[in-house]
Amino acid sequence: MSYGTAGPLRSVTLDDVRGAQKMLSGVARATAMEGSRHLSQLVGAPVHLKCENLQRTGSFKLRGAYVRIAGLLPEERAAGVVAASAGNHAQGVALASSLLGVHATVFMPQGAPLPKVSATREYGAEVRLHGQVVDETLAAAEEYAAETGAVFIHPFDHPDIIAGQGTVGLEILEQCPEVRTVVVGVGGGGLAAGIAVAVKALRPDVRIVGVQAEGAACYPPSLAAGRPVSLDSPATVADGIKVGRPGEVPFGIVGELVDEVRTVSEDQLSAALLLCLERAKLVVEPAGAAPVAALLAAPDGFEGPVVAVLSGGNVDPLLMQRVLRHGMSAQGRYLAVRLRLTDRPGALATLLGALSVVDANVLDVSHVRTDPRLGLTEAEVELHLETKGPAHCAEVGQALRDAGYTVID
């Protein structure tokens, strides 16, 4: 469906995007496009992955940040720039500023992953940790800009940012001229808007599908209302698209040029990240996996050839571990089960023997013998098992019950 024109006419043109592409020559990589046999079989048409996770700084954000900062007046550059981000935008601004000889101050939440904080510093920015959530960090950055005169570099709500991100769309058309559908993750909307400007100007027949996490889907209600609507408390593991309100500039473009915005669940995001790692051999963050999640959720709903934009690969190792485990659980390949047994010598060995019969691989065992909830002769065991799918999970549970164990939900 098309949502029609929302807000003012778009302020970014194809010429703007082409100008940004010239400006980014020798700065941003023309990232690879990889075919996916597995996704192609699911969709029933060729599916290609646009690998912005392999971009410098690990995401598409460098494109827009560089174009925005390069366009500043000399006196603005002299005042420096400031940004607020939990990761990808921070690194893009840091590297762009370093390349252009501009001092950058980046505010990041106090709980930002250490690898992202370290990378931002290594790219040359002064990092200040402030606030527990991005909204608090954003307020601190805007206050700093007001006090010092530094130029605030918004992550998505500026025409130059959108023009820079739109260069991804030009590359898609160059690398896959036969494309029929482009699927792209949506947070504030800068990337989707930029791609839509470039692609629709040259190939109006190409369908643009945006994807948001269910817990941070600010665009569907905003498009329905005809104006940006704020979410009270966006929540998703995909922090790269965890935005509570669309940007004013990208909102008008998305409303006019993006054909549809879909949502995906946390389970689908986790499964998509796992698929990218296992099948495509690509490290992708949850936000970057959103387009793949949409393909997995409704493989019959896309006309091919399809290009799915993997927007970034900056994922904290601890988060990666949790998300992968969640993805395996969603696919029935990981099972956590608690049960009660009689506390006597050999009881645990007998339990493990019962699991070996049904070919369940034990990854971890937690054995509790002293707890107020337990009877005098009881013990509680929590098992983490590697399984082979939903049917195997059901078989394991039934085998435990048949052996006389009390399984605790």
- From 98-102, 131-135, 200-204, 214-218, the region with the lowest mean pLDDT: 131-135
Specify the pLDDT at position 328: 65
- Neighbouring C-beta atoms of residue 327, cutoff 10 Å: 25
In the DSSP assignment, the letter for residue 125 is P
Catalytic residue among 40, 59, 222, 311: 311
Mean pLDDT value across residues 373-387? 74
Phi, psi (deg, nearest 5) at residue 83: -145, 165
Specify the pLDDT at position 375: 62
CA nearest neighbour of 261 among 304, 216, 305, 300:
216
Catalytic residue among 61, 116, 200, 242: 61
Mean pLDDT value across residues 387-409? 78
Q: pTM of the prediction?
A: 0.83
Q: What's the mean per-residue pLDDT of the chain?
A: 88
- Which tokens is 72 given? 């500043």
Specify the pLDDT at position 332: 63
Specify the pLDDT at position 254: 96
Q: What interhelical angle do 61-70 and 88-100 show, nearest 10?
A: 40
**Is 311 a catalytic site residue?**
yes
pLDDT digits (tens, 9 = 90+) for 112-125: 778 889 999 999 99
Whether omega before 220 lies within 30 degrees of 0, making that bond cis, reads no
pLDDT digits (tens, 9 = 90+) for 347-372: 777 877 878 778 877 777 776 766 66
pLDDT digits (tens, 9 = 90+) for 302-322: 999 999 999 999 887 777 677
CA nearest neighbour of 30 among 160, 169, 123:
169
- Neighbouring C-beta atoms of residue 353, cutoff 10 Å: 11
Contacts with 400 (C-beta within 8 Å, 6 or more apart), sequence order? 337, 339, 354, 355, 407
In angstroms, the CA 286 to CA 129 distance is 23
Specify the pLDDT at position 16: 97
pLDDT-derived band at 329 (thresholds 50, 70, 90) equals low
Residues counted in the chain: 409
pLDDT-derived band at 1 (thresholds 50, 70, 90) equals very low
**Is 61 a catalytic site residue?**
yes
Contacts with 190 (C-beta within 8 Å, 6 or more apart), sequence order? 64, 155, 156, 157, 161, 162, 165, 247, 250
- Which tokens is 295 given? 């393909």
Percent of the chain residues past pLDDT 90, beyond the cut: 62
pLDDT digits (tens, 9 = 90+) for 230-274: 998 888 888 888 888 999 999 999 999 999 999 999 989 988 998
